[in-house]
Amino acid sequence: MERSGWIAHFLESLRVERRLSPHTLSAYRRDLASLDAFCAAEAIAHWNQLTAHHIRALVAAQHRRGLDGRSLQRLLSALRSFFEYLIGQQELGHNPAAGIRAPKSPRRLPDTLDVDQMIRLLELPADGPLAIRDRAIMELFYSSGLRLSELVNLDITDLDLNDGTVRVTGKGNKTRIVPVGRHAREALKTWIDQRMAIPGPDEQALFIGLAGRRMTPRAIQARIKLWARRQGLDINLHPHMLRHSFASHLLESSGDLRAVQELLGHADISTTQIYTHLDFQHLAQVYDAAHPRAKRRGRA
């Protein structure tokens, strides 16, 4: 059977036996087409002629074409699966893609608001129950660094305004106790007074709509985008940006990476370390703006 025939058989087995989605099958098809084109260019007639050297050369060529680390990792995953299929069909004696890793892509830094932007956002006029609720939501996001799913699932009983804490259930169903700042406590107290006057089925939910039902993630996202526009912030604001801003501002002030890790509920500190890069960016900007030598850059 020709190379293209084996690829077609493999894709059909993925469709029938593993019932992969059309989108996933399309990705496999593109990746294996790259392999087939490479083999044609290298005059490789049979799969058992492929070596690890060939696979590294293919990955390097795709990298030069602009594929990032994530796309190359997907390519290698597709190749490994295909080669394992060929081994099962006794068409190949080894997996030439085994143990080959894709080059890492630079990690994208999260977007954040600066302190002035946060202040402008949170100075929204509390002139009705929805505005009071939305201010409490955004104050809590920024005060305690919650994920959107964590905030949506909060019940009134999770909040202790006297103690200034909130009990949060995060990823893996892990619970943590997080401090709630003074401004957030005041906004939450005002909201709870309003909330008690709203009847509805979700009596325990902390944040509800006017119909008394627990707010959905999409509803919270829409309200935050609305307030960003109303407050004159020309940014695509989303709830996670408030969490990023919380972490970045706290780390900038305290320098305590472990404490920020605990507050965010990160299982691995390497996840939290992304914010040290944000902090370094801030320091670099200050340096470039203020240092006598830096200010001379670019001058003839």
Q: How many residues does the chain have?
A: 300
* CA–CA dist 83, 72 (Å, integer): 16
Burial label, 237 (beta-carbon count in 10 A; 0-12, 13-18, 19+): buried
> Phi-psi bin for 95: left (phi > 0), alpha (psi -120 to 50), beta?
beta
How far apart CA 210 and CA 281 sit, in angstroms, is 42
Question: From the candidates 171, 189, 277, 295, which is the catalytic residue?
Answer: 171
Question: Taking every pair of C-alpha atoms in the chain, what is the biggest distance, in angstroms?
Answer: 76
Write down the catalytic residue from 135, 147, 244, 249: 147
Angle, in degrees to the nearest 10, between helices 3-16 and 22-41: 170
Task: Answer yes or no: 275 catalytic.
Answer: yes
85 a catalytic residue? no
What is the per-residue burial (b if ≥16 Cβ within 10 Å, else e) of 39-58?
Answer: beeeebeebeebeeebbeeb
Q: Which of 79, 88, 33, 34 is nearest to 52 (CA)?
A: 79
Cα of first residue to Cα of last residue in the chain, in angstroms, is 66
Provide the 10 A C-beta neighbour count for residue 178. 20
Cα dihedral 103/106/108/109 (nearest 10): 140
Active-site annotation holds for 266: yes
Contact (Cβ atoms closer than 8 angstroms) between residue 231 and residue 120: yes
Of residues 133, 185, 243, 244, which has the active-site annotation? Answer: 243
Q: In what order do the strands lie in the sheet with 165-169?
A: 159-160, 165-169, 175-179
249 is known as an active-site residue: no
Catalytic residue numbers read 147, 171, 240, 243, 266, 275
